[in-house]
């Protein structure tokens, strides 16, 4: 049996900042909620790794995976054997802001 190759996941620097800001925001709202948010993001990333093409394409090759329990989506694209997360997008804010990250 051949070993399963681990799919690499990387974050655009702004997506990493969005993740940290959202965790802090939810933790400020209620103790433990930031942790819950981070677990849901982790779970979403695991689902993406298992089935990278399962989520709809928003534009070009950018997929969106909705995060359970929270109004956020992970925007990502696949580059060879790597998943690149472009944004941790708040679904209640400006929907097109992330596009300049693709340049």
> How far, in Å, CA of 90 to CA of 88, rounded?
7
- Summarize pLDDT for 34-49 with one digit per residue, the tens: 999 999 999 999 999 9
How many domains are there within the chain?
1
Residues 6+ apart with CB under 8 A from 13: none
Q: 3-state class of 7 per DSSP?
A: coil
Return the CATH number at 63.
3.30.2310.20
> How far, in Å, CA of 50 to CA of 44, rounded?
10
* Segments forming the whole domain that contains residue 25: 8-93
Note down pLDDT in tens along the chain; length 103 residues. 444 457 899 999 999 999 999 999 999 999 999 999 999 999 999 999 999 999 999 988 999 999 999 999 999 999 988 999 999 999 998 888 998 888 7
pTM for this structure? 0.89
CB 9 within 8 A of CB 79: no
- Interaxial angle between packed helices 13-29 and 33-50, expressed in degrees from 0 to 180 and rounded to the nearest 10: 140
């Amino acid at each position: 049996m051949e070993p399963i190759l681990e799919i690499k996941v990387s974050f655009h620097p702004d997506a990493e900042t969005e993740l940290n800001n959202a965790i802090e925001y939810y933790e400020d709202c209620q103790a433990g909620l930031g942790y819950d948010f981070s677990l849901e993001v982790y779970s979403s990333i695991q689902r993406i790794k298992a089935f990278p093409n399962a989520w709809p394409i928003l534009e070009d090759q950018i997929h969106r995976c909705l995060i359970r329990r929270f109004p956020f989506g992970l925007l990502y694209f696949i580059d060879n054997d790597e998943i690149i997360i472009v944004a941790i997008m708040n679904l209640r804010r400006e929907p097109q802001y992330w596009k300049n990250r693709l340049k």
